Amino acid sequence: MAIHCRLSTILGIKRIKMAELVRMSSVSKTTINAMYHDRVKKIDYSVLDRICKALDCSVGDLIKYVPDEDENDSSK
């Protein structure tokens, strides 16, 4: 997949535990856990809004686009 969630990196930098983010954002533990482990398939705008407000970051900080390697290899 070309879209990655960087929540674990951001929490590590800010030294915030997942449980603390759950309290700060009112987002479910299940959703935070899925995002932390980059296993989330879809995210509601309201969830992104609450997490970004709690972490004082932008959506671009939280979500990263990484092109697939085979898309960039024009020699194939």
The structure's pTM equals: 0.82
Domain-embedded: residue 76? no
Domain-embedded: residue 58? yes
Domain-embedded: residue 39? yes
Indicate the burial class of 9 (C-beta count within 10 angstroms; 0-12, 13-18, 19 or more).
Answer: middle
Boundaries of domain holding 16:
3-67
Domain-embedded: residue 75? no
**pLDDT recorded at residue 69:** 76
Number of domains in the chain: 1
**pLDDT recorded at residue 76:** 44
**pLDDT recorded at residue 67:** 86
Mean pLDDT by 10 residues, the chain (76 residues): 90 97 96 95 95 96 86 51
**pLDDT recorded at residue 71:** 55
66's tokens: 């990484």
**pLDDT recorded at residue 73:** 53
State how far the Cα of 25 lies from the Cα of 69, in Å rounded to an integer: 35
> Which CATH number characterizes residue 38's domain?
1.10.260.40
